[in-house]
A and B are shown apart, each in its own frame.
Chain A
Amino acid sequence: MPTLATSEPAALPADWRDILALTKPRVMSLVVFTGLCGMWAAPHLPPLALGFTAILCIALGAGACGALNQWYEADVDAKMRRTASRPLPAGRMDRQSALHFGVGLAVFSVLLMGLAANWLAAALLAASILFYVFIYTVWLKPRTAQNIVIGGAAGAFPPLIGWVAATGSVDSLPLLLFAIIFLWTPPHFWALSLFVRSDYAAAGIPMLPVVSGVESTRRQIFLYSLPMAAAAILPWPLGLTGALYGGSAIVLNAVFLVLAARVLMNRTDEPSHMAAEKHLFSYSIFYLFALFAILVADRALAA
C-alpha cells in the first residue's frame, strides 16, 4: 500500500488541468489510435454514435489506468526527475481525489462500453484496466525486471477491444494486433529505460538496465525485436492483409531491426551518448502509428 507521505489534503481544489494530466493524455493518444485502428480494421463498422462511444470508453479506461497508476506511485514519482512535477508528487492535488477519480472513471467507462457496444468489449476493457493496475502497477513493476514484458499485455488490449466493440467477437487479426503491441512494448520501454536508468535506480524500480545492466538490456532489445517483426509481418502471409501492408511492414520492421542492431553495438554507458537508444525510442512510436495506419488503409482498399 502507498504510504501517507504525500496524502495531505491540498488546500485548494485541484485545477482541471491537473485532473486532465492524471489521465496521461499522451499515452491516451496512442491507446485511442490503436483502438480506432482495431475498430476500422474490422469487417464492418458499428453506427457512428456507438463507434464513437466505444473509442471514448477506451480513452476513459486508459485515463483511469493513468490516474490509478499515479495514485499508487506518487511516492516513487516524487523521486524521479521525469515524474516529480506530476500533480500528486508536486502537491497540487490530494491523493484521495486521484483515487476517487480513477475508480469512478474506470467503472463509468466499463458500464458505458457494455451499454453502448457489447458486454464482451466491456469485459475486455475491465480486464485491461484490472491487469494494468493490479498485475502491472501493484505486482510486477516494483518486483521484477520482467515487469514490462508481462505488463505490456495491458497496452495491447485497445485494438482487440476496438475490433470486439465493432463485431462482438474475437478473430485472428485482432489477436495478431494484440501480439504486435505486446512484443513491441519491451524494446520500446527498454530503449527509454537505458537513458533514464539513473531515475529508475533512484526510485528503486527494478527495470532491466538497473537489474541486469546496460549490455544485457541491449541484447534483450534486439532479441525481442525479432519476434515483434515476425508478428508484424505475419498478417500478410496469412492472407489477412494485402501487399500494401505486407511491403510496408517489411520496410518498417527492417528499419526497426537496423536501429535495434545499432543499439546492440553501442558500447557507452553514458546516457548523453545514447543517441542510438533515443533514435530507437522515437522511431518505435512512429513505427506503431505507421504500422496501424497502413493496416487500416490496406483493409479499406480491400473492402
Chain B
Amino acid sequence: MKPDDELIRARQRERARIMAWLLGLFAILLFFITLAKTGMNW
C-alpha cells in the first residue's frame, strides 16, 4: 500500500470510530428521551 493509501485508511478508521461512538451516545440519549416523554422522569 502507498503511504497516501495508509493515511486515507487511517482517516477512515478514525472517522468510523467517532461515528460509532456518536451513534451509541445517540441511542442512549433516545432511551432517556423516551423515559422522560413517557413520564418516567430521571
Contact indicator B33/A13 (Cβ below 8 Å): no
Interface assignment of A48: CB less than 8 Å from any CB of chain B = yes
Interface assignment of A53: CB less than 8 Å from any CB of chain B = yes
Contact indicator A115/B33 (Cβ below 8 Å): yes
Contact indicator B42/A15 (Cβ below 8 Å): no
Contact indicator B14/A49 (Cβ below 8 Å): no
Q: How far is the CB of A281 from chain B (nearest CB, A)?
A: 34
Contacts of A115 in B (CB 8 A): 33
Taking a contact as CB atoms closer than 8 A, the residue among A11, A13, A49, A53 that contacts B15 in the complex is A13
Taking a contact as CB atoms closer than 8 A, the residue among A13, A16, A50, A53 that contacts B8 in the complex is A13
Contact indicator B8/A49 (Cβ below 8 Å): no
Q: Please measure, in the bound complex, the distance between the C-alpha atom of A272 and the C-alpha atom of B32, giving whole angstroms.
A: 52
Q: Please measure, in the bound complex, the distance between the C-alpha atom of A86 and the C-alpha atom of B19, giving whole angstroms.
A: 22
Contacts of B11 in A (CB 8 A): 12-15
Interface assignment of B29: CB less than 8 Å from any CB of chain A = yes
B14 to A, closest residue via Cβ: A16
Assuming the A-B contacts A49-B36, A53-B33, are A12 and B7 also in contact, with contact meaning beta carbons closer than 8 angstroms in the complex? yes
Interface assignment of A111: CB less than 8 Å from any CB of chain B = no
Q: How far is the CB of A22 from chain B (nearest CB, A)?
A: 14
Interface assignment of B20: CB less than 8 Å from any CB of chain A = no
Contact indicator B29/A53 (Cβ below 8 Å): yes
Q: Please measure, in the bound complex, the distance between the C-alpha atom of A37 and the C-alpha atom of B4, giving whole angstroms.
A: 47
Contacts of B12 in A (CB 8 A): 13
**Number of residues of chain A lying within 8 A (CB) of chain B:** 16
Interface assignment of B35: CB less than 8 Å from any CB of chain A = yes
Q: How far is the CB of A300 from chain B (nearest CB, A)?
A: 20
Contacts of A47 in B (CB 8 A): 36, 41-42
Interface assignment of A176: CB less than 8 Å from any CB of chain B = no
Contact with A along B1-42 (1 / 0, CB 8 A): 000100110011011001000000000010011011100011
Q: Please measure, in the bound complex, the distance between the C-alpha atom of A46 and the C-alpha atom of B35, giving whole angstroms.
A: 13
A20 to B, closest residue via Cβ: B18
Contacts of A84 in B (CB 8 A): none
Contacts of A11 in B (CB 8 A): 4, 8
Interface assignment of A294: CB less than 8 Å from any CB of chain B = no
Q: Please measure, in the bound complex, the distance between the C-alpha atom of A13 and the C-alpha atom of B10, giving whole angstroms.
A: 10
- For window 5-23 of A, CB contacts with B under 8 Å fall at 11-16
Contacts of B32 in A (CB 8 A): 48-49
Q: How far is the CB of B24 from chain A (nearest CB, A)?
A: 15
Assuming the A-B contacts A12-B11, A16-B14, A16-B15, are A49 and B4 also in contact, with contact meaning beta carbons closer than 8 angstroms in the complex? no
Q: Which 8 A-B pairs have the closest CB atoms?
A: A49-B32, A47-B36, A49-B36, A47-B41, A13-B11, A50-B36, A116-B33, A16-B18
Could you list 14 examples of A-B contacts with CB < 8 Å? A12-B4, A12-B11, A13-B8, A13-B12, A15-B14, A16-B14, A47-B41, A47-B42, A48-B32, A48-B42, A49-B32, A49-B33, A49-B42, A50-B36
